[in-house]
Structure 1
Amino acid sequence: MKIKITILIMGIIGLLGLFGCNGKTKSTEKLNNKVTFQEQLVIFKQLGFTLNKGVDTSDINRWQGGYKEFEDQPFHLLYQTLGQTIEREPWTPITNKCWDFDLEAIEDHGAYIDIMQNISRITSGELKFENLKDYVDVEEKKAWVSFTCNGDNYKWDLKVNDDWADGDLFDKVQDLADKYKTKGRFTYFNTGGQDFVLGYYSKKDLEQIVQKTNLKIVWLKAKGQIH
């Protein structure tokens, strides 16, 4: 009899551990406890996502739904927004830790120069592209970009698909990071749209970001991700 009572008590204790006083499971309560915009921002700042000079939280809180939109998509929307620029002159990047890139960005000469400059910017100087030149003619279906990196000269011919960027370019810059044995490597985050967030982190940094945010940020491999 004592054994049966003991088993019954243990079962009740187990159920109390699983359910809160309001009858919700702990997992349900966890899902219902949304991470506030400010909490998300603090975590990103702790991870090294420093706002650039002249940028403040009003530049980040740009969506129609306000903070609620960030809380409905915890860390996802904030990470994406941190990779954008402010919506006023001088169009300063919000941070230099990532870049939210819209692939439909190739219209004329200078487009690939802009892309290469932004790629270099998020590497904190580990990959510097100098003497940048490009050529873009959508009607002629011809495009290329040339530059110097670590004293080596490069000229990459690029595919033309209307105004869509050639995804192979991102694999090429990943190859450069491997070639020059930089501390960081490029990462990819799928936003669900025609843009993606390009990051550049060490293995340790990426592990910390994923652990703190639960974002599905992976090492970049454009084939299978971008095209």
Structure 2
Amino acid sequence: MFGILRKRKISLEEQVSTLRQLGFAFHIDDEQLIPSLLESHSSKDYESEPYFLLLLTINEEHCDEIWTFDMECVEDEDIYTYIVNQFCNLSNGRFSLSNVESFVDFEKEIASVSFEFRGAAYIWELDFEHDWLDPNLLRRLANLADAMGETKHYYYFSDGQQLTIVYCTHEAMYQLNRKMRLHFDLLTWKLQD
């Protein structure tokens, strides 16, 4: 009788298939993708945290709409340029900025990022937290992207060290969050000014 109450295990292959059905485009077919993912974790690991571990493991080599990185990454003055460009890359061209430049002065403990969007120039001062990323930059970028009225949005999960950002529709994230123990939140709602 207790066997009936156990949750059915969801194989890694089924999880990948579900992501494809929800609109995530992988760069490689399953015959290459599955072995690549198994280099990081075992099938049993993926089954114990279905979808969640998969989303944390997938990177830009596998799929443009999912990105995980270490938030303790501010080690050179161009890092925010890289982060802004990576953030935009998640949208596959839907949200694009030009002339992105970052400035980090470790001695004066100041940081900023500048860019152009739809003909307007932006310069945003950032909170300097030594080698930690200012997460409010990502919230502000997500707010700017959402103002465009696109059907896809930026979602995130952070364990305090790693940050995973997913770009997808509300429906896709709703379906994924229903399947996971831990949930992703809309990026524009959670990060503070």
Give the TM bin, normalised by the shorter chain. 0.7 to 0.9
CA contact (8 A) 1:138 1:163 kept: no
Residue of 133, 137, 145 corresponding to 1:169 = 137
CA contact (8 A) 2:50 2:179 kept: no
CA contact (8 A) 1:158 1:169 kept: yes
Residue of 67, 71, 90 corresponding to 2:47 = 71
Corresponding residue of 1:24? 2
Deviation at 1:162, TM superposition (A): 1.2
Corresponding residue of 2:35? 58
The runs of 4+ residues in structure 1 deviating greater than 6 Å are none
Corresponding residue of 1:6? none
Name the one with the larger strand percent.
2
Unaligned runs of 5+ in 1: 1-22, 86-92
Return the letter of the residue paired with 1:56: L
Aligned partners of 2:76 and 2:190: how far apart in 1?
A: 23
Deviation at 1:104, TM superposition (A): 0.7
- How many residues matched? 190
CA contact (8 A) 1:187 1:198 kept: yes
Corresponding residue of 1:103? 71
Q: What TM-score, normalized to structure 2?
A: 0.86
Distance 1:179 1:42, change over 3 A: closer
Unaligned runs of 5+ in 2: none
CA contact (8 A) 1:129 1:149 kept: yes
CA contact (8 A) 2:51 2:176 kept: no
User: Which runs of structure 2 are paired with 1:78-117 in the superposition (5 Å)?
Assistant: 78-82=54-58, 84-85=59-60, 93-117=61-85
- Structure with max Cα Rg: 1
CA contact (8 A) 1:75 1:215 kept: no
User: Which runs of structure 2 are paired with 1:114-129 in the superposition (5 Å)?
Assistant: 114-129=82-97
Distance 1:179 1:48, change over 3 A: closer
CA contact (8 A) 1:43 1:212 kept: no
